[in-house]
Amino acid sequence: MNSEDGTVTERGHLTVTSPTGRGRGDLFDPACPTRQLLDRLGGKWTSMAVKVLGDAHPGEVRFAELKRRMPGVSQKMLAQTLRSLERDSLVDRRVEAATPPRVHYRLTDLGASLTEPIAALRNWAEEHMARIDEAGLAWDRARS
Amino acid sequence: MNSEDGTVTERGHLTVTSPTGRGRGDLFDPACPTRQLLDRLGGKWTSMAVKVLGDAHPGEVRFAELKRRMPGVSQKMLAQTLRSLERDSLVDRRVEAATPPRVHYRLTDLGASLTEPIAALRNWAEEHMARIDEAGLAWDRARS
DNA sequence: CCGTATCCCACATGATACTG
DNA sequence: CAGTATCATGTGGGATACGG
């Protein structure tokens, strides 16, 4: 982010309106909800964590089990991802006081509701991504 | 959706196991369609470009007009975003030979179909992001 | 007008090591 | 077991300048 330049380089977003549509006095959409959501889901592990927790719903999943079901994730990234989801109230964290400690995670109702739009994305992806891959390869070939 | 156990092997989503059924994963899956889609939509300008082009559909939009409707985007990022979309066959590019040249962009049918799952995301975001923001602020307050 | 080529930096992610 | 701390790095993306 640039220093003291008051003008932000990013403002209006997916809620971009037609100039004639309605007079939005503000014009500046400091934080478009869709952008914010995409920023979260776009993270490398967020959607996978939601998926894994969603599959276990309404059961709880422990940290190590979560890690086991998300091959490739590091402890750091898993913890960070869960933190973020917890902060957003999408995930609930329950600590079982014991030695060693046990920590259980589950989706909140809000988090569970997210699985629906994600499912829409997944369905679209399953149906069309193969074609997109082909198109990409063809494009690469045709290029010079 | 069941609360069954087991690793996530379901085809089509954020699949995580190796194709050879190795059991526990050693490698993460690079070819999950949903992951690929999210990587694209997660880009800073992709979804906005789709939105703007979708609003204009079936009309075409020229480069400069697109840029005008996407405040904050640089020429580099706009060109790069459009290239990527074109490569994916989500966007069609038409060059009108003239001086100065005119280039028109429009969504393909495939690209237009993407607006539906995106709309699902947007609806969810508009309905719930405010609450998520609150939760984040409360969380920040509660934890020093 | 419509791009591409460079440079640059913040940041997301990964590897590793260390605690309670 | 469930994290946090630290360091290294690849890259997305912004600024700027040049070219067709």
The answer to whether B103 CB sits below 7 Å from nucleic acid chain C is: yes
The CB density around residue B102, as the number of other CB atoms within 10 Å, is: 14
CB contact under 8 A, A86 and B27: no
pLDDT band at A130 (very low <50, low <70, confident <90, very high): very high
A125 domain residue, yes or no = yes
Decide if B1 touches A, using CB distance below 8 A: yes
Distance CA A30, CA B129 (A): 13
H or E element: which one contains A65?
A: helix A63-69
Q: Count other C-beta atoms under 10 Å from residue A131's C-beta.
A: 12
Q: Is residue A50 assigned to a domain? A: yes
Q: Which of A7-21, B50-64, B81-95 has the lowest mean pLDDT?
A: A7-21
The pLDDT tens digits for B18-71 are 443 333 333 456 679 999 999 999 999 999 999 999 999 889 999 999 999 999
Residue B118 structural domain: 26-142
Confidence check: pLDDT of B125 > 60:
yes
pLDDT at A58: 83
Residue that has been written with the tokens 């194709």 in this structure: B19
Beta bridge pairs of residue A96: A102
What is the Cα–Cα distance from A6 to A1, expressed in whole angstroms? Answer: 11
User: What pLDDT is recorded for position A45?
Assistant: 97
* Average pLDDT taken over every residue of chain A: 84
Window 25-64 of B: residues touching A by CB (8 A cutoff) are 25-28, 33-39, 41-44, 47-48, 51-52, 55
Judged against a pLDDT cut of 90, whether residue A40 lies above it is answered with yes
Residue B11 within any structural domain of the chain: no
Q: Is the peptide bond before A71 cis (omega within 30 degrees of 0)?
A: no
Position with higher pLDDT, B58 vs A117: A117
pLDDT at A76: 98
The per-residue pLDDT for A15 is: 58
B112 interfacial to chain A (CB closer than 8 Å): no
In this complex, the nucleotide whose C1' atom is nearest to the CA atom of residue B100 is C1
Helices (H), B73-108: 75-87
In a domain, B12, yes or no: no
Residue A12 scores a pLDDT above 90? no
Angle, CA A37 vertex, CA A74 and CA A119 arms, to 5°: 80
In chain A, the N- to C-terminal Cα span, in Å, equals: 36
User: Measured between alpha carbons, how far is A141 from A60 in angstroms, rounded to an integer?
Assistant: 48
Assess B123–A contact: CB distance below 8 Å, yes or no: yes
Handedness of CA A78, A65, B23, B33 (dihedral sign): negative
Instruction: Give the largest CA-CA distance in chain B.
Output: 64
Contact A117 B121 (CB under 8 A): yes
Question: Residue A31's pLDDT band (boundaries 50, 70, 90)?
Answer: confident
In a domain, B101, yes or no: yes
**Does residue A58 fall inside a structural domain?**
yes
B137: contact with A, CB 8 A cutoff: no
Greatest Cα pair distance in chain A? 64
Query: How far is CA B82 from its chain centroid?
Result: 12
Q: How many domains does chain A have?
A: 1
**Residue A44 belongs to some domain of the structure:** yes
Q: What is the CATH number of the domain that holds B128?
A: 1.10.10.10
Backbone angles phi, psi at B13, to 5 degrees: -110, -140
pLDDT score, position A143: 81
pLDDT over 80 (residue B1): no
Within A73-108, residue ranges assigned H as helices are 75-87
Residues A72 and A42: their CA atoms lie apart, in Å, by 17
Q: Which nucleotides of C are covered by protein (CB under 7 A)?
A: 1-6, 10-17, 20
> Which structure tokens are listed for B34?
């949903």
pLDDT for residue A8: 36
Is the pLDDT assigned to residue A88 strictly greater than 60?
yes
Question: Is the distance from CB of A11 to CB of A29 less than 8 angstroms?
Answer: yes
Chain A residue at shortest CA distance from B121: A117
- Token pair 């913890």 in the structure block, residue: A79
Mutation for A interface: B47, B108, B143, most A CBs within 10 A: B47
From the list A121, A120, A91, the residue with the least C-alpha distance to A108 is A91
Whether the bond into B100 is cis, omega within 30 of 0: yes
Residue B71 lies in a domain: yes
The protein residue nearest nucleotide D14, judged by CA to C1', is: B74
Confidence at residue B19, expressed as pLDDT on a 0 to 100 scale:
42
Q: What pTM was computed for the model?
A: 0.84
